[in-house]
Amino acid sequence: MTAQRAAAAPPPEQHFACTGCGKCCHGWLPLTVADAFANAGRFPLALVWTSVSESSQAFDLTVQLGTAVRISKRQRVAVLIAPTAYLPPSFPCPALSPENRCTIQAEKPLRCRTMPFYPYRRAADQADLLVPRKGWACDISTTAPLVYQQRKIVERDDFDAERAALLAQAPLLRSYADTTLKHYPSVLARLIKAAQNPATGQFIVGFSSFLRQQKMHDPITFAQAQHPLLLAFAEKAATSPTLATYHRYYQESATELAWFANAKPS
Ligand code: SF4
Ligand code: SF4
Q: Any idea where the domains of the chain sit in the sequence?
A: 13-258
Q: Tell me which residue has its CA closest to atom 7 in ligand 2.
A: 18
Q: Which residues make beta-bridge pairs with 204?
A: 48
Ligand 1 atom at shortest distance from the alpha carbon of 108: 1
CB of 61 closer than 8 Å to CB of 122: yes
Closest atom of ligand 1 to CA, residue 101: 7
Element (H, E) at 242: none
The stretch 98-113 carries a mean pLDDT of: 96
Question: What contacts 57, CB < 8 A, 6 or more positions away?
Answer: 122, 125
* CB distance 93 to ligand 1 below 6 Å: yes
Note the ligand closest to the C-alpha atom of 103.
1
Burial class of residue 218 in the structure, from the number of CB atoms within 10 Å of its CB (0-12 exposed, 13-18 middle, 19+ buried): middle
pLDDT tens column, 36-93? 999 999 999 999 999 999 999 999 999 999 999 999 998 999 999 999 999 999 999 9
| Terminal-residue alpha carbon distance, the chain | 38
The set of protein residues with a Cβ atom below 6 angstroms from ligand 2 is 18-24, 115, 132, 136-138
Strands 76-85 and 67-70: antiparallel
pLDDT of residue 198: 73
Q: Would you state the pLDDT for residue 4?
A: 46
CA-CA distance, 148 to 123, in Å (whole number)? 10
The DSSP line for 69-135 is EE-SSS-EEEEEEEEEE---TTSBPTTB-TTS-BTTGGG--HHHHHTT--TTS-GGG-GGGGSPPTT
> What confidence tier does 16 reach under pLDDT thresholds 50, 70, 90?
very high
Q: Whose CA is nearest to atom 5 of ligand 1?
A: 25
Measure the CA–CA gap between 154 and 52, rounded to whole angstroms: 28
> What is the reported pTM?
0.92
For the ranges 2-6, 173-177, 237-241, which has the lowest average pLDDT?
2-6
The ligand whose atoms approach the alpha carbon of 101 most closely is: 1
> Does 191 score more than 70 pLDDT?
yes
Instruction: Give the ligand 2 atom nearest the CA of 1.
Output: 6
Ligand nearest the Cα of residue 138 is 2
Cα-flanking dihedrals φ and ψ of residue 188, to 5°? Answer: -60, -40
Q: For residue 1, what pLDDT is reported?
A: 53
Q: What is the distance in A from the centroid of ligand 1 to the CA of 250?
A: 21
What average pLDDT does the structure give for the chain? Answer: 93
Mutate-to-test residue for ligand 1 from 112, 118, 158, highest number of ligand atoms within 8 A of CB: 112
For the Cβ of 18 lying below 6 angstroms from any atom of ligand 1, the answer is: no
Kindly give the number of the ligand 2 atom that is closest to the alpha carbon of 139.
3
| Ligand 2 centroid distance, CA of 217 (Å) | 32
Q: Are strands 29-30 and 76-85 parallel, antiparallel or unpaired?
A: antiparallel
Other residues' Cβ atoms within 10 Å of the Cβ of residue 105: 10
